[in-house]
Amino acid sequence: MSVNLNGARVLLTGATGGIGNAIARGLHERGAHVLATGRRQDALDELARELGDRLEPVVADLADRDAVVSLADRARQVDVLVANAALPGSGALDSYTPEEIDRALDVNLRAPIQLTHALVPSMVERGSGHVVLISSLSGKVPAAFSSIYSATKFGLRGFGLSLNDELHETPVGVSIVAPGFIRDAGMFAEAGVTLPKGTGTRTPDDVSAAVVRAIEKGRQEIDVAPLSFRLGARASGVAPSLVTGLQRRLGSHRVGSEMGEGQRSKR
């Protein structure tokens, strides 16, 4: 189901990162009133100064389960949820502490599910609504040094696609937006990893445009990546060992390992 963003009320999580900033601007440009959340008050205040009175900043740490409940209560009347907040999950499994694993699961998977669970019934009752879950191509294609991140993103994709079918007879839709490598901002860009020659990337604005399209056109799933990555994701669903073998030859182990090191401080 589609939603007209002009005048719509939107809850956006993870608004303080570069991709979240771009999504907030894209929603705002379409006329939405954005409840923007993140962990950094200064970054939220800066975004509010830029976008004006149709953006309301709310500090929330989605690893805190009580904060998730409070945020859901505050956002009960929103028309759209864009669950964008996520923690890095790259690196060898044995490099994680149990606490870091739990935190990644809480922010990347549990919080979007709980927010969706809390907000969708009101959308159904009002007769309109949409949920956008920001997944990743890592939620379609397995890769070494991505076990934690892929676990959360595979799970988020499965949740969203299943819920969309569950809501088929209602006026509420669920979309999955799956970015690949995003340059200029976000987890990959901040890790400072050099990709193999010829590897294509997209921009935060491309992600923002996909989110807007998902909401206003009612698209079930949009991959934000070059054609070669989109085809690879489809092939992985049929022959994952073939795709991971090709990735290894192209340098995926190096990229994954370096991303894990580059993101370690943000777990």
Marked catalytic residue, from 96, 145, 149, 181:
149
**Hey, is 210 helix, strand or coil?**
helix
Residues in the chain: 267
Q: What are phi and psi of 40, to 5 degrees?
A: -110, 110
Phi-psi category of 25—alpha, beta or left, where left has phi over 0 and alpha has psi -120 to 50? Answer: alpha
Active site (annotated) includes residue 149: yes
Catalytic residues: 149
